[in-house]
Amino acid sequence: MGDFLHRTTKQYLKSVSPQSLPEPIGNYIERPVVPDAPSKYWTITGDTVSLMSRAEQDAVDAAAEKARLDSAESEAITPMTEVLLSKLNALETRAGVRETTVTDLKAAVRDKL
């Protein structure tokens, strides 16, 4: 039994038999020494696990926050987009112009946010 760290996913498996690993043992670091910080801040080089610099950690946090905001924005835009699109397309149909697509409207709303 040993401890193993997946090189890509950073999944830490404790007290596991090498034969019961879900992937080939080459995908793992055996008995890793890991920093006392969340795994999202770890950098793996060969069999060494180190802590990212403060700037790298800030970049990871900024990317996670951007993804969270993008998701929240998408959830808010979708229902609003459907309502606005149906109203807009009713007007465009009466005017005899090309109807606006969901993609067009989402892009226009994002440009204004």
The model's pLDDT over 33-82, given as tens digits with 9 standing for 90+, comes to 999 999 999 999 999 999 999 999 999 999 999 998 888 777 766 777 77
Sort residue 15 into left (φ over 0), alpha (ψ -120 to 50) or beta. Answer: left
Is residue 59 domain-shared with residue 94, that is, in the same domain? Answer: yes
Q: 4, exposed or middle or buried, with CB in 10 Å at 0-12, 13-18, 19+?
A: buried
Is residue 36 domain-shared with residue 68, that is, in the same domain? Answer: no
Cα 65 to chain centroid, rounded: 10
Helical ranges in 1-101 per DSSP H:
54-95
pLDDT of res. 103: 79
Structural domains in the chain (count):
2
The DSSP element (H or E) to which 14 belongs, if any, is strand 12-16
Tell me: the pLDDT tens digits for 19-32? Answer: 999 999 999 999 99
pLDDT of res. 77: 67
Tell me: the pLDDT tens digits for 73-107? Answer: 777 667 777 787 888 888 888 888 888 887 787 77
Written as six digits, the tokens of 110 are 């994002």
- Sign of CA pseudo-dihedral 22, 25, 26, 28: positive
Cα–Cα distance between 101 and 107 in angstroms, integer? Answer: 10
In this prediction the pTM is: 0.62
pLDDT of res. 85: 80
pLDDT of res. 83: 82
Residue 47 vs residue 108, higher pLDDT: 47
Is residue 61 domain-shared with residue 107, that is, in the same domain? Answer: yes
Which domain, by its residues, includes 20? 2-52
